[in-house]
Amino acid sequence: MASEADDSPSTSSRQQAVVLVGDVGGTNARLSTWRTDLSSAAASELFAKTYPTSLYSTFEAVMEAFLAEPAVQENPPAAAALAIAGAVDNNRCEMTNVSWLVDGAELTATHGFQVALLNDFEAVGYGIPVLQPEDLITLNDVPVHLKAPKVVMGPGTGLGAAQLMWDTGLEAYKVWPGEGSHATFAPRGWKQKALARHVTTKFGHCEIEQVACGPGLELIYEFLQTDEIANRPHLLSLPPQPVSARAGGRAGAATCCAASGVYIAGGITPKLLPRIKEGSLLEGFLMRNGRQPFHRLLMETPLFVITNGKVGQMGAREVAKRLLPPAA
């Protein structure tokens, strides 16, 4: 079983708290409050609202508007975690697609409860341990080793990547986001090698993200059009192979021996489920024709596709719960 969380229904005897969860992007800031069960992953949404970023000069203005909502004042949050589409450094984020500087320390001082900022894919990582079996499709059904490393990859607009390591002090997983998607793409077979040459000729370098996320589909389409006309209709009618998940998952499994699983998230992979279920992703991941020791490692590594699109929100909730004062 992939999940390690106790998601049994909450009871009145269990301690509960209200937390604020944010999903802050370049176009919209989505804020919500949740009543959470501190002894499990159970939670119920109390209130949610979306704020177009173009209507607010600062994130603080959004925060004030949300906290002024009657439903929020009735159940005020005791902690907050904001998943932000940008690089977070020292609990601060200078966003690139909107001219906002979000400062967790300043928000904490202003509102009187702890506020943590995390990269949006880091939030996905924190959601992994609380996923339930119904949130996953198992591709490589082998035992999950408790407290062993996990890897999560996510092809979407970009290609997110993170590793989860067990923290004995926290008695929970700590997420370490990475930039492995910018590693050089390692093609397999003549077609992928030709694709790599095409991208390198155009940009001077071919990294994994350039051929493994949303914009990469455009490059793949452009590349396929360079083939002879007679070959194009068949090639262009096929769904793209999930190159990113295969390459990234293999790299992650090898880098940290992800005996607790490789998890594929992101917006693209769930749309390719019919193709994935045919076995293309698993076969690419297992690399049966590779060196035997590496193949054996991959054979023993669980592989999952995440079908729950709210995994990032779940992760931010878990981070917010960690911020709660002891008496909450």
261, 139: one domain: yes
**Rounded percentage of the chain residues whose pLDDT exceeds 70:** 84
SS3 content of the chain, % helix, strand, coil (to 5): 40, 25, 35
Dist CA 86 CA 97 (whole Å): 9
118, 143: one domain: no
Confidence bin at 244 (pLDDT 50/70/90): very low
Residue 220 is predicted with a pLDDT of: 82
**Rounded percentage of the chain residues whose pLDDT exceeds 90:** 48
113, 206: one domain: no
Any idea what the CATH number is for the domain that residue 192 is in? 3.40.367.20
Task: Tell me whether residue 5 is in a domain.
Answer: no
Taking 60 as the threshold, does the pLDDT of residue 2 lie above it? no
137, 103: one domain: no
Instruction: Name the pTM for this structure.
Output: 0.79
Dist CA 73 CA 65 (whole Å): 11
Residue 225 is predicted with a pLDDT of: 79
Confidence bin at 20 (pLDDT 50/70/90): very high
110, 165: one domain: no
141, 255: one domain: yes
Residue 157 is predicted with a pLDDT of: 64
Any idea what the CATH number is for the domain that residue 84 is in? 3.30.420.40
253, 196: one domain: yes
Task: Tell me whether residue 9 is in a domain.
Answer: no
Give the range among 244-253, 285-294, 316-325 with minimum mean pLDDT: 244-253
Average pLDDT over residues 214-225: 78
112, 184: one domain: no
Residue 23 is predicted with a pLDDT of: 92
Confidence bin at 11 (pLDDT 50/70/90): very low
225, 186: one domain: yes
Task: Tell me whether residue 1 is in a domain.
Answer: no
245, 315: one domain: no
Please count the structural domains in the chain.
2
Task: Tell me whether residue 8 is in a domain.
Answer: no
pLDDT digits (tens, 9 = 90+) for 223-240: 887 776 655 555 555 545
Q: Which amino acid type is present at position 103?
A: D
316, 303: one domain: no
**Residue 249 vs residue 129, higher pLDDT:** 129
Task: Tell me whether residue 2 is in a domain.
Answer: no
Quickly tell me which residue has 């600062």 as its tokens. Answer: 58
Dist CA 121 CA 126 (whole Å): 9
Residue 279 is predicted with a pLDDT of: 78
Quickly tell me which residue has 């910018």 as its tokens. Answer: 182
Average pLDDT over residues 194-222: 83
Angstrom distances, CA of residue 90 to CA of 24, 111, 148, 161: 17, 19, 27, 20
Task: Tell me whether residue 33 is in a domain.
Answer: yes
113, 157: one domain: no
Which domain does 91 fall in, by range? 16-126+311-322
Residue 160 is predicted with a pLDDT of: 77
